[in-house]
Chains A and B, each alone.
Chain A
Amino acid sequence: MDKKDTILLAHGGGGSRSAELTRGLFQRFLRDPLLLEMDDAARLPGRPGAVFTTDSFVVRPLFFPGGDIGRLAVCGTVNDLAVMGAEPLWLSIGFIIEEGFPVAGLERVLASIARACREAGVRIVCADTKVVERGKADGLFINTSGIGRPAFRRPVLAGRARPGDAVLVSGPIGLHGVAVLTARGEFGLETRVRSDVAPLWGLVKTCRLLDVPFMRDPTRGGLAQTLNELAQGRPFGVRIDEASLPVPRDVAAVCDLLGLDPLQVANEGKVVMVVSARDAARALRLLRRQRLGRGARRIGEITAENRGRVVMATRAGSERIVMPPAGEILPRIC
């Protein structure tokens, strides 16, 4: 990146512009080997070791069908730990509150945070609050960090994936992104879509004894982003099957209308899992027994072909590549 450039919203969109910001700027100054692994969380050395992560939340609107910024802040960090195969234990939380924010709103958020912590089985053990002048923040920003303990029998490392391994997703996709988009009321669309925001450890731990080389929660950038992170730079490809993708009807309808690709829409309570061929059927059974995994499906597999790429067999009997979104996702004009 050039010194004369300025930061654009697209740099925060999670796509290739974000990657450019990370590689072209942050990694020039912050070069810890654990950070450079670019995982959802860092595996701290030692035995039994720990997993450590952080995330900031700036969602608009703060309250949306199925959740709110508080629930999101707990689940986001808990899930980043869970997909590293770690049991989430302790969280820190920091609030940046805009002057004039209603106490009643804050109370709602805090109640939701407490509820999400109980659900996830984590404790918030340190916290911080800052208030900034009106106009210096959009209502409320939250940061959470979390520490977890590795609990999977075999390490969750994408490099261990092999051709033939199954790619699973734990349920219907696109719910969070569509719920938040339509809750903004900007499209005059009404749907019954509710965000799927939920803590995932209870679900993924059922597979802790199986051979699971990769797990990730497909949040910003959706399945397209997550599957590309899985494939990029690896000696294998990923092939998914459009007909097996669980896209709810309402999600498909909104995406059609706005010209969005459901594969690129955010989820906050789903996990993508790569499971060895031998354990795949077992993993599906275990996931489906859980409330959050009832809609779990096998959506594709790891392939020896198409190294580093994600390919989708389409319903029309053709195929296409799946790319990560490039920056802000913008609805089309007509």
Chain B
Amino acid sequence: MADTKLNRLAARLRAFPARPGTRFMEVCGTHTVAIRRAGIQKLLPDGVRLVSGPGCPVCVSPDRLIDEAAALARQGAVITSFGDMLRVPGSRTSLDRERAAGADVRAVYSPLDALAVAAASGRETVFLAVGFETTAPAIAAAALKARERRIANFSLLTALRLVPPALAALVAGNTELAGFLLPGHVSAIIGKPAYEFLAERGLPVVIAGFGAAEIVSSLLLLLEMHEEGVQRIVNNYPGVVRDGGNERSRAVMAEVFAPADAEWRGLGTIPLSGLELRPAYADLDARRRFRIVAEAAPARKGCRCGDVLRGRIDPPACPLFNKACRPDSPVGPCMVSSEGSCSAWVLYG
């Protein structure tokens, strides 16, 4: 049943009379993967292209974060992290290499698991706090729990990022984008109002789910608005995303974290685009708790992850793509992460 619906939508997409030179950006890495797994990029009408955005947490984290984590691991701390981060190369090493060399590096699936590691091991335990508005509330909740349970050996190495400021920076420097496919999970937290600045700039945007049919129908909405010159924010994922977002999650996040300027791979430093621990929680900040001696990171030669993340080039335009840089021996983070667009181009064609 669902398939006939999908086929109908796909046929409409293929036949849509679009203006040539129309480029939409799918912001979120999960969308990138879903699009390529379903082959949706090949169903786009002539003249329409999709480019991948900066919504892959692993991809946008600067090298320095891995260098800091590796340095902490060598100093004897237990490093806990989402599994995705372990293979990311820093300037000289990666966490899975440090683990093989004897460091205590553990993949966890939630920040609360990291807290449990701290409670059980009794050793200084650092959690790599990476992600967007989706993961930040859970990390904030773990921080509150650490407080409540007086687990003093738990801290956070933060590299949390916020989606709207990055989009604002992107559109400020780029007038070629005709609209955005917005991330469903992030939007479930921040809600529709967070994107108003995009509509004000004359861009249609659609909050989309992750099923093939949901993506195709969202692309159709984008195309229709673009054709008609309508600039609206459409919530096309109403089963999951409430227009107002999730206030409680935002409140937990705001209790623990405050926005701060942050560095993004490829995008540089963007004002108020990251989250840092508020002064009341400074004791949970690994950068304050430890003297981290991380070497300065030399630039990665030839890697064009930065341009890929800005939608400037497609992955095959990078000289390393699928040659020196492959999913099993990645150079840049866009190839490491299962959500990275380089990896998605290799894996799904």
Q: Which A residues lie at the B interface, using CB under 8 A?
A: 6-10, 15-17, 20, 186-188, 243, 256, 259, 261, 314-321, 323, 326-328, 330-334
CB neighbours of B3 from chain A (8 A): 243, 315
Interchain nearest-CB distance for B133 vs A (Å): 9
Name the residue on B nearest A9 (C-beta). Answer: B96
Interface string of B176-209 (1 = CB under 8 A from A): 0000000001100000000000000000000000
A interface majority secondary structure:
loop
15 A–B contacts, CB within 8 A, in A order: A16-B326, A20-B328, A259-B339, A314-B38, A316-B40, A317-B6, A318-B43, A320-B348, A323-B348, A330-B84, A331-B84, A333-B57, A333-B135, A334-B131, A334-B134
Who on chain A is nearest to B215 by CB? A316
Which of B43, B113, B185, B347 has a CB less than 8 Å from the CB of A186? B113
Any A CB within 8 A of the CB of B132: yes
Q: Which of B42, B186, B338 contacts A332 (CB 8 A)?
A: B338
Determine whether the beta carbon of B30 is less than 8 Å from that of A318.
no
Contact B107 A8 (CB under 8 A): no
Complex Cα distance, B87 from A297, in Å, reads 37
B239 to chain A, nearest CB (A): 14
CA distance A143 to B211 in the complex (A): 41
Which residues of B, 83-128, contact A by the 8 Å Cβ criterion?
83-87, 96-97, 99-101, 107-110, 113
Q: Does B66 contact A (CB under 8 A)?
A: no
Give Cα A10 to B347, complex, Å.
Answer: 17
Tell me, yes or no, whether B337 is within 8 Å of chain A by CB.
Answer: yes
Q: Is the CB of B83 within 8 A of A316?
A: no
How far, in Å, is A309 (CB) from chain B's closest CB? 9
Complex contacts, B349 vs chain A, CB 8 Å: 320-321
Residues of A within 8 A of B253 (CB): none
- Distance (Å) between the CB of A225 and the closest chain B CB? 13
Contact A315 to B348, CB < 8 A, known contacts A8-B100, A10-B87, A186-B108: no
Interface of B is mostly: helix
Residues in A neighbouring B337, C-beta threshold 8 A: 332
In the complex with contacts A6-B101, A314-B212, A332-B84 CB distance below 8 A: yes
Apart from A6-B101, A320-B38, 5 more pairs, CB < 8 Å: A8-B97, A10-B96, A315-B38, A315-B212, A316-B216
The CB with the most chain A CB atoms within 10 A, among B135, B185, B212, is that of B212
Contact of A333 among B37, B38, B39, B130 (CB under 8 A): B130
Cβ contact of A316, chosen from B101, B135, B212, cutoff 8 A: B212
> Does the CB pair B328–A327 fall under 8 Å?
yes
What residue in chain A is nearest B3 (Cβ atoms)? Answer: A315
Question: CA A233 – CA B140 in complex, angstroms?
Answer: 50
Given the contacts A20-B328, A186-B108, A8 and B96 also touching, CB distance less than 8 Å: yes
Answer yes or no: B232 CB below 8 A from chain A CBs: no
In this complex, what residue of B is CB-closest to A187? B109
Asked whether B272 is an interface residue with its Cβ less than 8 Å from the other chain, the reply is no
Knowing A6-B97, A316-B43, say if A334 contacts B57 (CB, 8 Å). Answer: yes
* A186 adjacent to B109 (CB under 8 Å): yes
Residues of A within 8 A of B38 (CB): 314-316, 318, 320
CB distance from B344 to the nearest CB of A (A): 10
Separation of A10 and B37 alpha carbons in the complex (Å): 23
CA gap between A321 and B109 in the complex, in Å: 29
Interface pair A333/B40, CB less than 8 Å apart: no
Name the residue on B nearest A224 (C-beta).
Answer: B347
Are A259 and B33 touching (Cβ within 8 A)? yes
**B331 close to A (CB within 8 Å):** no
Counting CB contacts under 8 A, is B16 at the interface?
no
Known A316-B38, A317-B10, A333-B58; contact A326-B328, beta-carbon cutoff 8 A? yes
Asked whether, in the complex, the Cβ of A334 is within 8 Å of the Cβ of B97, the reply is no
CA distance A315 to B57 in the complex (A): 29
Whether B83 and A331, one on each chain, are in contact in the complex, defined by CB atoms closer than 8 angstroms, is: yes
Q: A8-B96, A330-B107, A334-B132 are in contact. Are A319 and B39 (CB under 8 A)?
A: yes
Bound-state CA distance A326–B328 (Å) is 5
- List, in ascending order, chain A residues with CB within 8 A of B29's CB: 332
Question: Lowest 7 CB-CB distances: which A-B pairs, in order?
Answer: A318-B39, A330-B83, A321-B349, A326-B327, A326-B328, A334-B134, A16-B328
Question: Given known contacts A315-B3, A321-B348, is B86 in contact with A7 (CB within 8 Å)?
Answer: no
Q: Render B301-335 as a binary contact track against A, CB cut-off 8 A, 1 for contact.
A: 00000000000000000000000001110000000
Residue contact B7 to A317, C-beta cutoff 8 Å: yes
Give bound CA distance, A281 to B130, whole Å.
51
Expressed in whole angstroms, the Cα–Cα distance for A330 and B39 within the complex equals 22
A88–B80 alpha-carbon span in the complex (Å)? 44
- Residue among A7, A187, A320, A331 with the most chain B CB within 10 A? A320
Chain A: which residue is nearest B213 at the CB level? A316
- List, in ascending order, chain A residues with CB within 8 A of B135's CB: 333-334
A16 to chain B: which residues have CB within 8 Å?
326-328
Note all chain B residues with C-beta closer than 8 A to A9.
96, 99-100
Q: Give the Cβ gap from B301 to chain A, nearest Cβ, in Å.
A: 19
In this complex, what residue of B is CB-closest to A16? B328
> In the complex, which residues of chain A have a beta carbon less than 8 angstroms from the beta carbon of B338?
259, 330, 332
| Contact of B84 with A320 in the complex, beta carbons under 8 Å | no
Residue pair B40, A6 in contact (C-beta under 8 Å):
no
Chain A residues within 8 Å of B347, by CB: 321, 323
> Which residue of B is nearest A19, CB measured?
B328
Check B281 for interface membership: any CB of A closer than 8 A.
Answer: no
B42, A319: Cβ atoms closer than 8 Å: yes
- Alpha-carbon gap, A330 to B340, bound state (A): 13
Instruction: Please indicate which of the listed interface residues B132, B186, B347 has the most CB atoms of chain A within 10 Å of its own CB.
Output: B347
Contact A318 B10 (CB under 8 A): yes
Whether, in the assembled complex, B169 has its beta carbon less than 8 Å from a beta carbon of chain A, the answer is no
Question: Is B40 a contact partner of A318 (Cβ separation < 8 A)?
Answer: yes
B346, chain A: closest CB distance, angstroms: 7
CB distance from A301 to the nearest CB of B (A): 19
A99 CB, min distance to chain B CBs, angstroms: 21
* B234 CB to nearest chain A CB (Å): 21
Name the CB-closest residue of A to B33: A259
From residue A190, how far is it (CB to closest CB) to chain B in Å? 14
Question: Is B109 in contact with A320, judged by CB distance below 8 angstroms?
Answer: no
A19 to chain B minimum Cβ distance, whole angstroms, is: 9
CB distance from B342 to the nearest CB of A (A): 12
